Amino acid sequence: MPAHFPSTATDYRALAARRLPRFLFDYVDGGAGDEHTLAANLDDFAALRLRQRVLRNVDGIDTRAVIVGEDCALPLALAPIGLAGMMARRGEAQAARVAEAAGVPFTLSTVGICPLAEVQAARRTPFWFQLYMLRDRGVVAALLDEAWAADCRTLVFTVDLPLPGLRHRDVRNGLEARGAAGALLRLRQVLARPRWLREVALGGKPLKFGCLAQQVPNASNLDAFKAWVDTQFDPSVTWQDIEWLRARWKGRLLLKGILDVEDARSAVQVGADGIVVSNHGGRQQDPVASSISMLPSIAAAVGERTEVLLDGGVRSGSDIFKALALGARGVLIGRPWVWALAGAGSDGLRDYLGMLRRELYLAMTFAGVTRIADINPDSLHFDPLHSDSLHGGSP
C-alpha cells in the first residue's frame, strides 16, 4: 500500500522527483537564472483571492468551454513539453490519449520524443503542434507540412526563444556539458533510478527526437542534438517572419510567449488567431514579470480581437478560475502534467486532470457562477486592473 495517494500538483512533483534521474527532473522543474520569475508565477497566483458568494443557486454548474474553436470539458490544454517522452515511457503518446479521454487538447512539442505519426495513432481526434522559428526555414516548412498531414489544425508557435535561457540546474547536472564528463555525470544519475532505466530508457525505446529525426543526424544522441539546435536558434526573427508563417499555415495559429501589450497588438496585426500570455514557465529570462500579472492589461488591450490564453503558474482548479477572471479564455499547464505522468503514469495524469475539474467546479460553486462565461473580474476580491497586489499588474 502506498504511504499516501497523490492529490495535488505538489504531490505529483514529489513522486516525479523520486522516479526521474536528477537531470531530467530539474530540466522540467527548474527555471532561468535565480528562478525569481519561476517563483513569481506561483506567488502572484497565490496573492489573488476569490470572492465568495452564497445563496446564488449554483445547481447545474458547467465547466465546459470552447478554446480556439474546440469544445473542451474544461478551459485547459496540455502545454508542449520538450523531452516528455523521457519522463515516462512514450510520454507524449500516453499524455495525448489521457487528454483526449479527459476532453482537453494536447500539444506536441517539436523537441518531443514521440513523432507526429505516433501521437496521431494514439488518438481519434486532432491534437495541437508546437514549433519554433528555426534558422533553416526549409525545416520549418517541412514540419508544418508534416503537422498538417498528421491532422494537426492548431499550431502553437513559440516566439520567446531567440536564444535558450541560462538554466543553472541544467549546468550543474551535466545537461549543458558535452563530451565524456557530462555523459558520465548523467549516467550516474540514471543508475540511481533503476526503475526509470528499466521502464523508460530500455522499455521506451527509441529515445530520439521523433519530430526532427529527418532533419537531425543522430537524433538519438543528446550531445549531437544540442549541437544542431544551437545552430538553429535565430535571434534575427521579426514580425515579418511571423507574417510568412501566417501565410503558409492554413490552420489556427497561436503565438506563445507574449508578455507585453505592444507585442500582443502586433500579434493581432499579423493575423494570429490567439496568443498565449507566457514567460516560458520562467525558463527564459530572469527576472521578468509573472504571466498572471501581465494578463489583465493584455486581455484588456486585445481580448476582444483575439483569443487570449495563459501559461505559467497554473497548479489548481482555483488557478484556472483566477486566470479566467482576469481575462483568459483558457489556460495551458506544463510542469504539472509531466509530474503526474512521470510520478504515477497515465492513471496519475487522469486523476490529476479530474482533480483540476473538481477544484474548478468548487471554485465556481463558492463564487456563485454556473458557467465559464460568467467568471469575470468581479469574481475576485479586488479590481485587478488597478491593483498593486501583482507585480507588473497595472496596464
* Catalytic residue status for 280: yes
Name the catalytic one among 4, 36, 168, 280.
280
Give the number of domains in the chain. Answer: 1
pLDDT tens string 307-346: 999 999 999 999 999 999 999 999 999 999 999 999 999 9
Q: What is the mean pLDDT of residues 152-161?
A: 96
Determine the average pLDDT of the residues in 23-43. Answer: 97
Distance CA 115, CA 209 (A): 7
Instruction: Evaluate whether residue 319 is within a structural domain.
Output: yes
Within 8 A by CB and 6+ apart from 202, the residues are none
Say what the pTM is.
Answer: 0.94
Instruction: Please give the pLDDT value at position 220.
Output: 65
Asked if residue 391 is part of any domain, the answer here is: no
Q: What is the pLDDT of residues 191-221, one digit of tens each?
A: 999 999 999 999 999 998 899 888 776 666 6
pLDDT-derived band of residue 80, with 50, 70 and 90 as boundaries? very high
| 382: in domain | no
- Kindly state whether residue 175 falls inside one of the protein's structural domains: yes
Residue 69 has pLDDT above 70, yes or no: yes
Classify residue 384: in a domain, yes or no.
no
Average per-residue pLDDT in the chain?
A: 93
Three-state SS annotation for 285-297: CCCCCCHHHHHHH
* Residue 6, number of CB atoms within 10 A of its CB: 20
Residue by residue, DSSP assigns 180-211 as HHHHHHHHHHHHT-HHHIIIIIITT---S-GG
In a domain, 129, yes or no: yes
Q: How far apart are the first and last CA of the chain?
A: 52
Residue type at position 173: N
Residues 243-270, mean pLDDT to the nearest whole number: 98
Judge whether 173 lies within some domain: yes
In this structure, of 113-117, 172-176, 281-285, the range with the lowest mean pLDDT score is: 172-176
Instruction: State yes or no: pLDDT of 383 exceeds 70.
Output: no
Q: How large a percentage of the chain has pLDDT more than 90?
A: 84
Q: Is the pLDDT of residue 229 over 90?
A: no
Instruction: Please indicate, yes or no, if residue 390 is contained in any of the structural domains.
Output: no
Q: Looking at the predicted structure, is the pLDDT value of residue 223 above 80?
A: no
All residues at 6 or more sequence positions from 188 whose CB lies less than 8 Å from its CB, including other chains: none
84-143 tens-digit pLDDT: 999 999 999 999 999 999 999 999 999 999 999 999 999 999 999 999 998 899 999 999
Query: Domain with 125 in it: what CATH number?
Result: 3.20.20.70
Which range marks the domain in which residue 185 is found? 9-375
**Euclidean distance between CA atoms 350 and 301, whole angstroms:** 36
